Structure 1
Amino acid sequence: MKKLLQLFILCLGITVSAQIKAPQPSPSAKVEQMVGLSTVTLDYSRPAMRGRTIFGDLVPFGEIWRTGANENTVISFSDDAKIDGKMLKAGKYAIYTIPNKDSWDVMFYKSTNNWGNPQNWDDNMVALKVKAEVVKIPMEMQSFTILIDEITTDGANLNFLWENTVAYIKFTVPTDEKTMASIDKVMNGPGAADYYAAAAYYHDAGKDLNKAWDWITKATEANPDAYWMQRKKSLIAADMGKKDKAIEAAKKSLAAAEKTGNKDYVKMNKDSLKEWGAK
C-alpha cells in the first residue's frame, strides 16, 4: 500500500509538471517596420472569424475594444510621431479602439500591461485620440490583421483589417529633421567626442601616436574642461616623450576633475604628475 501511494504521488507530480503545447486560438504576431529613419513596432494577437459576425456583433459598435485578443495590442514609436496633425511622443502605447460603422476612434493608452480593457478606464492615460477612416473591402479577412503600409520616406498608414472592414489612420515621423541633423553633423566635421574616440583607440591599440596627438588636441580644444580628454592627452604626450605637454594636460585634467568631484581622475593625475616629476 505504501509503495502504491508513493507511485501515485510520483505520477501526480509528473502530470502536474508536464506542459501540453498546443496552438493558440489567437496567435501572437510581431511587426517591425522602418518608416524613414524611425522604427515602428507592433505586438498583438490575431483572433479569427470562425464563422462569426464581427463588427456590430462580436465587437459591438460604440464600445471600447481591446483591438485584438489576449494581452494589450502594443505599438512602439522610436521617435515622436504626428497623427491627424497631433503629436504623439516617442514611446510604447496600448491601442484601444471604438469601432463604428463609418469611423473608428483610435486611442493610444499609456498603460500597456492590461489583459483586455483596463479594469478602470482612465482618460488621463489616453496620450492621443484620433478618428480612423473606414473602408469596406470586397473579400473577408479571416484573421484580425494590423498592417503598416503605404510607406513613404516620412510616414505611413496604420491599417486595422478584419471581416470586410479596413480602418486606417495616417502618421508621419520626423525624417527630414533627423536627416538634416545628420547632414549638418557630417558636413560640419567630427565633434570633440569623435576626435577623442579616434585618439583613444589609436593610443590604446598602439597605432600612430602622431595622429592620436592631432586628434586629441582637436578634442581638447573643442572641450577643454573634459578631464577624461585631458587625461588621455597627457598619456599620449607621455608615450611620445613630450613630458612638458604631458604635465600640462595632467594639471588641466586634475583641476577639472577636482572641480567635478571625480576622485578616481584626481588620484590618477596626481600619481602621474608625481611620476613625471611635476612641480
Structure 2
Amino acid sequence: MKRIFLAGLLIFALNVNAQVQTPAASPHAELEQVVGLTEVKVDYSRPNMRGREIFGDLVPYGAIWRTGANATTKFMIDKPVMISGKELKPGTYSLYTVPGEDMWEVVFYTDDSNPLITEFEEEKVALRTMVEPMEMPMNMETFTIVIDDVMADSAVLNILWANTVVPVKFNVMTDAEVMKSIDLALAGPSAGDYYNAAVYYLNSGKDIEKAKMWMNKAMDMTEKPGFWQYRQQSLILAKAGDKKAAIEAAKKSLEGAKAYGNADYIKMNTDSLKEWGAM
C-alpha cells in the first residue's frame, strides 16, 4: 500500500514539474484592421500544407470547413457592413466556408462557440454569399487571412492557402457616419452637452452665470425634462441668486419625483423648498 502511495506521488511530481513546451501545429493568429470608421477583427489558426493536397482532398469540396484549424475562425465587426448587397450586423461570427472547384460559399454564422457542424441551422446563418476563387501563381504554405484593398468605404477579406485565394469584398457605412457627425457638429451642442456642462460648473464651483445660461438652454431644448434635471436647475438658480426661479424649478422636480415615487428626490426638494422659504 505504501509503495503504491509513493509511486503515485512520484507520478504527480513528474507531471507538476513537466516544463517541456512545443510549438502548436497550427499557431493562433489575430488580425485587426480599421476600414473607414469600422473596426474589423479576425481570430483564427494557421495550419501548414506540409506537402499535402489541400482543396479537394484535405479540405473536401462541398463540405463545411471551419476555415482554419483548431477552432472556428471568428469574424468580428463593431459596425454594420455590407456583403453582396446584404447587411451583416455588428457582432462576432463563426466564419464557415464550403469550398468548391468553381465557387465557394462563405457563411457568417451567429453561433461562435466553436461548433463543428456538418450542416447549417438556417436560423443561425446571419449572411451567406458565393465567391469565385482565384488561382495564385505560387503556393501559400501557411493558411492566411488578410484584409487588403483598404479604402475609405470598402476592403477585401482574402482567404489564402495552397494556390487558392478567395476574395470576400465588404463595404462599410463610412459616408453615412461622416455625414451624421458633420450634421451633429454643425448643429451645435445638444441639450445633453449644455446640461452636463452646467452641472459640471455647479459642482466645480465655476462661473455660476454660465452654468445658469447653459442649464436654461438645455431645458429649453428638452421636450419633457426629468425631475432630476429640474433638481439641478433649481440648485444652479439658487446659487445664482434667483430664488424665485429656483423655487419654481424645485416644485416641478418635487412633482415629478412624487409621480415616480422617488423618495430621495422628494426629500431633497422638500428640504430645499423649506430652506428657501417656500414651505
Distance 1:119 1:262 in 2: 55
1:46 aligns with 2:67: no
Counterpart of 2:212? Answer: 213
CA contact (8 A) 2:64 2:117 kept: no
Where structure 2 has 5 or more consecutive residues not aligned to the other structure, the ranges are none
| Structure 2 Cα separation of the partners of residues 192 and 14 of structure 1 | 66
Name the SS of the counterpart of 2:23 in structure 1: coil
Q: Please say if 1:142 is aligned against 2:160.
A: no
Q: Could you tell me which residue of structure 1 aligns to residue 37 of structure 2?
A: 37
Quote the Cα distance in structure 2 between the aligned partners of 1:197 and 1:19.
58
Output the amino acid matched with 1:255.
Answer: E
Aligned residues: 277
Alignment of 1:257-276 (within 5 A): 257-276=257-276
- The 5 Å alignment of 1:32-181 reads 32-115=32-115, 117-118=116-117, 121-181=120-180
Deviations 1:204-241 (A, max 9, x none): 12222111111111111112422222211112222223
1:276 and 1:19 mapped to 2: Cα distance? Answer: 76
Return 5+ residue gaps in structure 1 as ranges: none
Q: Deviations over 1:25-68 (max 9, x none)?
A: 11111112111111111111111111211111110111110101
Q: Secondary structure at the match of 2:213?
A: helix
Residue number in structure 2 paired with 1:222: 221
Cα RMSD between the aligned structures?
2.0
Question: For 1:170-229, what per-residue CA distance to the aligned partner results, in whole angstroms no more than 9, with x for missing partners?
Answer: 111111111111111111111111111111212212222111111111111112422222
Cα offset, 1:7, TM superposition = 5.1
Inter-CA distance 154–260: structure 2 relative to 1 (3 Å threshold): farther
Instruction: Return the letter of the residue paired with 2:11.
Output: L
Q: Which residue of 1 aligns with 2:199?
A: 200
Quote the sequence identity (%): 49
Residue aligning to 2:233: 233
- TM-score norm. by structure 2 comes to 0.91
Show the counterpart of 2:189.
190
Deviation at 1:251, TM superposition (A): 1.4
> Is the Cα contact below 8 Å between 1:133 and 1:169 reproduced in 2?
no
- Are the equivalent residues in 2 in contact too, given 1:225–1:256 (CA < 8 A)? no
Q: Quick check: 104-113 or 37-46, which moved more?
A: 37-46
Letter aligned with residue 250 of structure 1: A
TM-score, normalised relative to structure 1:
0.91
Shift of 1:119: 6.6
